[in-house]
Structure 1
Amino acid sequence: MIQKAVEALKKGEFVLIYDFADREGETDFAIRSDMITPEDIRSMRKDAGGLICTAVHSDAADKMGLPFASEVLKMTHIAEKEGDIPYDKKNHSSFSLWVNHKDTFTGITDIDRALTANHLADHVKHAMNGGALDFASEFRTPGHMATLRANKKLLDERRGQTELSITLAEIGGITPCITICEMLDDNTGRALSKEDAEKYAEENGLVFIGGKEIVEYWEKQKSQQV
């Protein structure tokens, strides 16, 4: 399934990623940010319903000047306390800044959010290739696209949706900038069950993959490089 997921991601299709039953127990829509369209944003808000975010590789985030939100908020005395996140006791939240690209209007429309994600991917691509674009001159904050910083050691240290999606991008050799959104259940108000997410994937011809499979492939790749 890992190869199917990678190929789907490469083609700009949605991949459904389930993390772990003992973590969030959630399935996220994931799609490469450099190919996302307004129609994709619409699908995310209507069929997934969670928060639409764009995950960024940590190396790119460093060069772009994207901090962890928790670090910025420490001065307000309302930043998260260590160990406060019930599903991730070892690491803090991956949230960084909320941004709009300068060419957006309100920033919230499907068109605006797709544009912001596209331009975030441009900056990540340049950063990962050793270049640098002026992030501050192109984006406004606060905005309507939440950015997420992947852990520097990816799945070696944190196994959230941010790291799972960025790892999948690395495996596929594409720009490690992925837009994700949690799938919610309209009836229960909770996260959509794994079974229902798998059913949605089957009915819509999408690839469904579990975090465990991504981790196993990642670890196998690393062991072969030693």
Structure 2
Amino acid sequence: MTNDQTFMPIQEAIEHFKRNDFLIVMDDEDRENEGDLICSAAAITTKQMAFLVRHSSGYVCAPMSNDVADRLDLPLLRTGMKFTSNDDDRHGTAYTITVDVAQGTTTGISAHDRALTCLQLAKGHSRSTDFLKPGHICPLRAVDGGVLERPGHTEAAVELSKLSGLPHVGVICELVNDRDGSMMRLSDCQKFGKAHGIPLITIKQLIEFVKQKQ
């Protein structure tokens, strides 16, 4: 950990991510000022998905690189979406049509079904025909420039996947407080991370790490 024991160094976080463990990723206070639970989609379990849904907003998203989204024929919900602060979505999140995996699921909403959908999204041989649309997982397109171009949780998940040598598909959801349903801020995320043994990192850390590797 860093000196103040708040944020894990990125190299350690990458090793953590490779083991398919959760990270809490914080963005800037002047942006969303939120903490997202993030893991790889490549090996997510039903137990992990249930934990994610239990402690989050429940709106589970699957960030992915554009090449994966293109292969799966997942267009943006709004044609011509631009990643600008004055977009309809204030942070320019690149939402696509929602999906469920077609085989092995029932309603698509259970933790089991949502985990299966994420696993299928991460498989290199998956195709559009493997999914029903709309569904209960929301794929997000990360910008090609990653966190250096857009410092969002979407890009952070894909950046971590790339740095870890994993398929370029993650799973993210915003942490919320049990007491009132409000979004968890830094102090809340610190308490949550300590209680559940989940390390924190920031997107700012990730940006600096990527810059140093260039």
TM-score (norm 1): 0.84
Assess if the C-alpha contact under 8 Å between 2:102 and 2:131 holds in 1: yes
Give ranges in structure 1 of 5+ residues lacking alignment. Answer: 75-79, 127-132
Mapping for residues 170-209 of structure 1, pairs under 5 Å: 170-209=162-201
Q: CA deviation at 1:4?
A: 1.9
> Would the aligned equivalents of 1:23 and 1:87 in 2 still touch at CA under 8 Å?
no
Q: Which runs of 4+ in 1 moved over 6 A?
A: none
Change (3 A) 1:214 1:101: same
User: Who is 2:97 aligned against?
Assistant: 97
Aligned residue type for 2:53: R
- CA distance 1:85–1:216, change in 2 (3 Å): farther
Structure 2 counterpart of 1:158, from 130, 144, 150: 150
The SS at the match of 2:135 is strand
Alignment coverage as a number of residue pairs: 204
Kindly, what percent of the aligned residue pairs are identical? Answer: 29
Q: Distance in 2 between matches of 1:55 and 1:65?
A: 14
User: Larger % of helix: which?
Assistant: 1
2: CA distance, partners of 1:7 / 1:158: 23
Q: Structure 1 residues 86 and 94, CA, compared in 2 at 3 Å: closer, same or farther?
A: closer
Shift of 1:136: 2.6
Corresponding residue for 1:65? 73
Q: Which moved more, 1:58-67 or 1:141-150?
A: 58-67
Q: CA RMSD in A?
A: 2.1
Which residues in structure 2 correspond to 1:117-132 (within 5 Å)?
117-122=118-123, 125-126=124-125
Distance 2:141 2:42 in 1: 17
Which of 192, 207, 210 does residue 215 from structure 1 map onto? 207
Unaligned ranges ≥5, structure 2: 1-8
Q: Does the 8 A contact of 2:55 with 2:178 survive in 1?
A: no
> Aligned partners of 1:22 and 1:184: how far apart in 2?
18
